[in-house]
Amino acid sequence: MKRSNTIVRSVMTALLLTIPVIPLLGPSPALADFGQAPAASFPKLVPSASSPEGFLQEGLKLEQVSKGDLDGDAVADLAMVIRMDDPKNVLKDPDDPERAPLDTNPRIIAIATADKGGSGYRLATVNTGLIPRLEDANMNDPFVRLSIDKGVMRLVLEQSMNAGSWSSSNITFVFRKGLQEMSLIGYDRTDLHRASGEMTETSVNFLTGRQQRSVGNIDSEKKATTWKQLPKKPLETLGMMGDGFSFDPLNP
């Protein structure tokens, strides 16, 4: 579950040096309170389709698709990130017309399993809360990527601000398909204070119930590592999970 220290250190060094502000492009912005995202309700997805695009209803757009075998039948399944495409959720700052609009359209994760004959896909799991909604103009986009590799699915999130906070976090959720659902089997999180360089790395294997926690500094190879055995609990399932930033591995 644990990524190499070299990769983590390279990623966090880049965050320490700079986190750019990237203009958000999208539909024509609505004139609304720049700090208040309007309520949003997702249209239902089509239950079966011959392609990823076929699951979409009006008002949705396909943002990312990853293909790979999740259920062990040697046929590639789909892991999709789908985003609402509603101009009402794209906000413009009424006090600063030159400011980039804030696209608060939320995202969902949808898993579709392939028919054994390869004729299409059937919707299996939908999650509307794990990828946090972008609601703060100073918040960087939380979604990094969704991928399938060797039978497991990984969702990577970033929690950081381009103003107002020195803290940043890189979070990875690891899922594997069980008998009925996509189950959370791993969790990795790296927290960095970009001013002091203080770094905390947490890695949890929910199959063994073991948590590893390391505390150190990005400028040093030295770190203090502790292990903890977590109470035995049923595995968390993708369809029931909420906001990824609020997830607590000690009390999932």
Residue 41 lies in a domain: no
Mean pLDDT, the chain, rounded, equals: 87
User: According to DSSP H, which parts of the chain are helical?
Assistant: 5-17
Residue 42 lies in a domain: no
Residue 148 lies in a domain: yes
Tell me, what's the pLDDT at 34?
65
Distance CA 186, CA 103 (A): 30
Residue 40 lies in a domain: no
Q: What is the mean pLDDT of residues 203-209?
A: 96
Confidence band for 250, pLDDT divided at 50, 70 and 90: confident
Distance CA 205, CA 232 (A): 12
Give the range among 34-43, 188-197, 223-232 with minimum mean pLDDT. 34-43
Residue 35 lies in a domain: no
Calculate what percentage of the chain has a pLDDT beyond 90: 70
Q: Which residue has the tokens 């249209």?
A: 43
Confidence band for 112, pLDDT divided at 50, 70 and 90: very high
Q: What is the mean pLDDT of residues 90-115?
A: 91
Residue 15 lies in a domain: yes
Residue 92 lies in a domain: yes
Residue 155 lies in a domain: yes
Q: Which residues span the domain enclosing 95?
A: 5-30+47-246
Confidence band for 245, pLDDT divided at 50, 70 and 90: very high
pLDDT digits (tens, 9 = 90+) for 7-46: 444 444 444 443 333 333 344 444 445 667 888 888 899 9
Structurally, the chain folds into a number of domains equal to 1
